[in-house]
Amino acid sequence: MFSGRPMLRNVSLVRLLGAFGLLNLSEWGFIAALSVHAFRVGGTVAVGLLGVRFVVGALSSAVLAPLLSARRGVLSLITLLRAALLGGAATGTIIGVPFLLVLLFVVLDAMVGAVYRPAQSRLMPTLAHSPEELTGAVAATSMAKTLGQAAGALVGGAAVSIVSPGAAMAGEAGLMLLALVCTLGVGGRPAAVDAQSVLRQLRGGLSSFPSVLGDVHAWPLVLASVLRTLVRGLWGALLVVVALRLLHAGNSSVGLLQAASGLGVLLAVPVTVAQIGRARLALPCLTSFIAAGIAVGLVSTTTVLPLIAALVLVWGGAMAVADATSLSLLHRLLPIDAFARTVTVMESLKLLTEGAGALLAPALVTLLGLRTALLVGGLPLPLVMVVTWGRVRGSDEYAAGRGTVVARLHRVPLFHGMDMASLEQLAALARPLVVAPGGEPIRQGEPGDRFYVIQAGVAEVVIDGVGVRQLGPQDEFGDRALLRDTPRTATVRARTEMRVLGIDRDAFLRAVTGEAGVRLAPPDLVGVPVPHVLRELPLFARVEESAVRALSQRVTRRQLPAGTVVFDATEPSDGAYVILRGRIELERDGAVSAVLLPGEIFGELSSIRGMPRVGRAVATEASVVLWMAADDLREALGRPRALTESTA
């Protein structure tokens, strides 16, 4: 599949990621300013009430998102509604309406905003032109969120030190309109999701919780995950009180501390990447939970802003590592038939518990005082890990073998940008399989059902009965038919006994695209330089660069109206074709044997061997192709690169 164009050349994806970053920047700037206003008018209680938005967001994400996120233009509509709602909250703040009315606007915003991320995930595959482009965009989404949140908190905190909170909130609502501009006109439509199936999954997840909580290996990690988000919500509310009551540092300190937390998350990225494939995760999991709890507790011991900012940075990083390692361990321990449903429900429960933590903060401050509330808030994280350490360590040893599978999947180019927990989830669904010599895990013309990663053994790729290349332990295969929802274009036949990891279609698509049941949009290569198009074809992987450039000077471009018969069976093989735009179907014995899309070549085998065509090729939609004469093709292939440069 063609992968030559970097993601930055895909204007639609860049605009989508820019919109997401701006959305987070404006939202977190708004929340920073709103937190200051809430504390001014209602103290700790008002700040804690802001946690209601997490609860509403969780419910909306579970129920409304599946129903609404497949509508065309939904991202622009959501952004417009959010800008209007936040603008309404800002206006209410400026004119002095009761805080509960302002809070109502914010809660409605959370309900609408919860639909955005699922819709974006389903839209990305329709915009990406290659698997690498898509996985790069998925990885960049998390970075855009982290950077947007950190920058937004800084901007919002700085704004309220210059203008009123209401004016700062209005400015952030206006900034959200820039995100709207980025999404306007972005093509594609999010993949539809069956709401009934989502609801069945949620019910299945809830029904699986009793067995999970009764699992001696899993329950400590489930408890730790719930407590972690509870404490995060608690600290999110207490942070404002620390900045304005404990430090008396001014409104800008709220944004500074929130940004420090986001920076900590960013700095934790290389730490979590270093844990990928690690056989034992219990120690980094324990360390991160304890560090997060101690950081919160130590905040109560000082009134020095830089020191508290440093502690908050440690808190943010430790929480990110704790999230990744605990969830990864949970993926390793839960049974395959239970973990996907359970984790889906847990993601919604995290928002619920985060909201509960924010609502709990005012009660703790009222009953215990701010400093004691900070100490109590940080205590559960290290306490639960110390109490359950023996069980967690035993569970870690029980699941240690999974690290090898995770490490192997991390080396797959398609999965290299995935985060730690997602890789662990994928590894949990990868099934070890043995293929006997002569076995064919995939056959040309059949529908795609699995993606395969070779662990040991050798296989041959066969097209129309002719072997074209060899695969070994560093290779993987089967992604094209899954991503494009087309029949297999080749047969893979084991030459020796092979040990492979098989990943079912839905699990693979969910890992690469974020959603099951979607397909990758076909690329449009009309504007890509011809040498680049040819170089991406496996046929030319071992050919000298000069030969590829010389061949590119001899090719001709042809327009094929829909219905054009490109060639028929038994015709002389005068040349080969590379698709730049459109769709070509190959027929053999009256049946479709392959569906080819841009970035793929056909007619090359018979041209190389000087044999008649063995089937029929038809353009099923208006297409643009490159045609190369058989003699020119054979001449180019007769000039191989040195073996040291080959890509077997």
CA angle 111, 66, 420 (to 5 degrees): 90
| pLDDT at residue 436 in the model | 94
CATH of 209-428, one of 2.60.40.420, 1.10.3720.10, 1.10.530.10, 1.20.1250.20: 1.20.1250.20
Q: Find all residues with CB under 8 Å of 590, minimum gap 6, and list them.
A: none
| pLDDT at residue 96 in the model | 92
Query: Is 430-513 assigned to CATH 1.10.150.120?
Result: no
| pLDDT at residue 519 in the model | 64
CATH architecture type of domain 1-193? Up-down Bundle (1.20)
- Exposure string over 389-399, b if 16+ CB within 10 A, otherwise e: eebbeebbeeb
| pTM for this entry | 0.73
Q: How far apart are CA 585 and CA 594, in angstroms?
A: 6
Q: How far is CA 90 from CA 77, 95, 110, 160, in A?
A: 20, 9, 15, 13
10-residue averages of pLDDT along the chain (648 residues):
49 88 92 91 90 82 62 83 95 94 94 84 74 73 84 87 92 92 74 57 60 68 81 87 84 86 87 83 90 90 90 91 84 66 64 86 90 87 86 80 81 79 80 92 85 92 79 85 78 92 84 64 80 83 84 92 90 89 86 83 85 88 92 78 32
Please state the length of the chain: 648
| pLDDT at residue 106 in the model | 94
Return the percent helix, strand and coil in the chain, to nearest 5. 60, 15, 25
CA nearest to 80, candidates 167, 19, 29: 19
| pLDDT at residue 221 in the model | 76
| pLDDT at residue 62 in the model | 65
SS3 222: helix
Q: How far apart are CA 414 and CA 510, in angstroms?
A: 12
CATH architecture type of domain 530-645? Sandwich (2.60)
Q: What is the pLDDT of residues 5-24, one digit of tens each?
A: 444 567 888 888 999 999 99
Residues 638, 642, 647, 648, CA torsion sign? positive
CB contact at 8 A, 419 and 272? yes
How many angstroms separate the first and last alpha carbons of the chain? 16
Q: Do domains 430-513 and 530-645 have the same CATH topology?
A: yes
Per-domain boundaries in the chain: 1-193, 209-428, 430-513, 530-645
Residue type at position 146: T
- Written in H, E and C, the secondary structure of 453-489 is EEEECCEEEEECCEEEEEECCCCEECHHHHHHCCCCC
